[in-house]
Amino acid sequence: MTLQRQVIFWTTALAVVILALWLLGDIMLPFIAGLVLAYFLDPVADALERLGLPRLAATLLILISSIVAFVVLLVLLLPVLGDQIARFATNLPGYMQALVGLFNELAPQWLKDMLASSGTNLPASLSDLAGKAAGWLAAILTSILSGSLALVNVLSLLVVTPIVAFYMLNDWDHMVAKVDGWLPRDHHNTVRALALQIDEAMAGFIRGQGTVCLSLGIFYAVALSIAGLNFGLLIGLGAGLLSFIPYVGTIIGGVLAIGMALIQFWPDWVQVLVIIAIFAAGQFIEGNFLSPYLVGNRIGLHPVWLMFALFAFGYLFGFVGLLLAVPLAAAVGVLVRFALQQYLKSPLYLGVPTQEKPAAPKRRSAAKH
C-alpha cells in the first residue's frame, strides 16, 4: 500500500504540474526565464561568495552587470538585426531565383534530365518555397511584435524576469536546503543521489550547452561579418542559437550561409570556400573543445530523444515548452534509468528463485531371512 500511495501521489503531482503549465503557459514565460537565468548564474554567485562577497552583494553585482550587458547588446544589435531580418524576408524570392539560375548554369546535364523526367519544376518549387518561407517569417514577426498580449509578454520579460532572477538567485541555497529538509527520511540518500544526477544533467544543458550556443553564435556572427557576407550577423547568431538542437543549427546556418555566398560572390570560389571554412572551423571548435569541456556526457540524452523533446514540448507549451524541454527530458531520463536499474535487480526481472525440494528419505531394505 505504501508503494501504491507513493505512485498515486507523484503521478497526481506530475499531472497537476503539466495542467498548470498548459493553463498558465501564456504568463509563465517571465517566471521560467527568471528561474533559468538564476540557475545559469548560481555558480557565479557561489564563486563570488567564496571570494568573500556576501550573497546579496554578489546577486546585485551579477544582476546589474547582466542588465547593463543586455541593454548594450540590445542597443547595438537590435537595429541591425531588425534591418537584416526585414531585408532578408523581402529579398528571399529573388535569392531563390538567383540560386535557380546558378543551378541551371552549374548542374550536370544528367541531374537536370533526372529532375525533368520526374516532373519536378525546380524554379516553380523554389519560388513556392520562398513565398511560403517569407509568409511564415512575416507571420512570426507579426505575432511577436503585435498584439496586447505580446506587448505584455515583452514588458514582463524586461521587468518581471530580472526581479524573479534576483530573488531566486539570492535565495537559491536556502531553497535547496529547505527542499532537502522535506525529503522522506527513509529515502533521503536515494532521492538526494537522484537529485544530484538531475542537477548534473540540467547543468550540462542550461549552463554547458547554453554557453556553447552563445560562443558559436558570437563566432559565426563575427567571422561571417568580417568575411563580408550579407546578413552575416543574422545568419551567424541564428546558427549559434539553433545549435541547442543537435545538427539543426549547423545545417540551417550552413545552408543559408553557403547559399548567400554563392549568390553574392559567384564565380569567386575563394570567398565561397572561406564561408565553408568558417562553419567547418566552428564545428571543429565545438566538437573538440567546447562540447567536451562544457557539456560532456552530462545531459545523458540521445540526440533523437533530444529533438523529440524539443518538438513535443514546443508543440504543447510553445516557447515556455522549448525552455523546459531539455531540462525536464534530462530529469525524466535520470528517473527512467534509475527505474530500469531497480527493475533489473527486482524479482520481476530475475524471477523468484525456486527452492530445491528436500530429498525423500531412503527406505530401509527388508531384512533377509
Kindly report, residue by residue over 135-156, the tens digit of the pLDDT. 555 555 554 444 444 445 566 6
Confidence of residue 180 (pLDDT cuts 50, 70, 90): confident
Q: Which three cell numbers stand for residue 263?
A: 549568390
Question: Across all residues in the chain, what is the average pLDDT?
Answer: 77
Q: Concatenated DSSP letters for 2-45?
A: HHHHHHHHHHHHHHHHHHHHHHSHHHHHHHHHHHHHHHHHHHHH
Neighbours of 45 (CB within 10 A): 23
Q: Which three cell numbers stand for residue 350?
A: 530475475
Residue 148 is predicted with a pLDDT of 42
Q: Which three cell numbers stand for residue 295?
A: 557539456
Interatomic CA distance for residues 91 and 94, integer angstroms: 5
Confidence of residue 360 (pLDDT cuts 50, 70, 90): low
Question: Among the listed ranges 59-68, 205-214, 301-310, 318-327, which one has the minimum average pLDDT value?
Answer: 318-327
Confidence of residue 128 (pLDDT cuts 50, 70, 90): low
| Average pLDDT value for residue range 67-92 | 83
Interatomic CA distance for residues 58 and 47, integer angstroms: 9
| Average pLDDT value for residue range 185-193 | 79
Residue type, 1: M
Residue 237: what are its φ and ψ, rounded to 5°? -65, -40
* CA nearest neighbour of 235 among 72, 98, 95, 135: 95
* CA nearest neighbour of 271 among 312, 226, 327, 303: 226
Q: Which three cell numbers stand for residue 346?
A: 527486482
* CA nearest neighbour of 308 among 337, 294, 328: 328
Report yes or no: 250 and 280 within 8 Å, Cβ to Cβ. Answer: no
Residue 224 is predicted with a pLDDT of 92
Interatomic CA distance for residues 326 and 171, integer angstroms: 24
Helical (H) or strand (E) element with 49: helix 25-50
Confidence of residue 363 (pLDDT cuts 50, 70, 90): low
Higher pLDDT, 107 or 182: 182
Confidence of residue 1 (pLDDT cuts 50, 70, 90): very low
Q: Which three cell numbers stand for residue 164?
A: 524573479
The structure's pTM equals 0.69
Q: Tens digits of per-residue pLDDT, 269-301?
A: 899 899 999 988 988 888 888 877 777 666 667
Interatomic CA distance for residues 82 and 157, integer angstroms: 19
Interatomic CA distance for residues 118 and 96, integer angstroms: 21
Question: Among the listed ranges 2-16, 241-255, 260-274, which one has the minimum average pLDDT value?
Answer: 2-16
Q: Tens digits of per-residue pLDDT, 27-43?
A: 777 888 888 888 888 88
Confidence of residue 14 (pLDDT cuts 50, 70, 90): confident
Report yes or no: 330 and 299 within 8 Å, Cβ to Cβ. Answer: yes
Confidence of residue 226 (pLDDT cuts 50, 70, 90): very high
Tell me which residue has cell 571543429. Answer: 284
Residue 145 is predicted with a pLDDT of 47
pLDDT of 216 above 70? yes
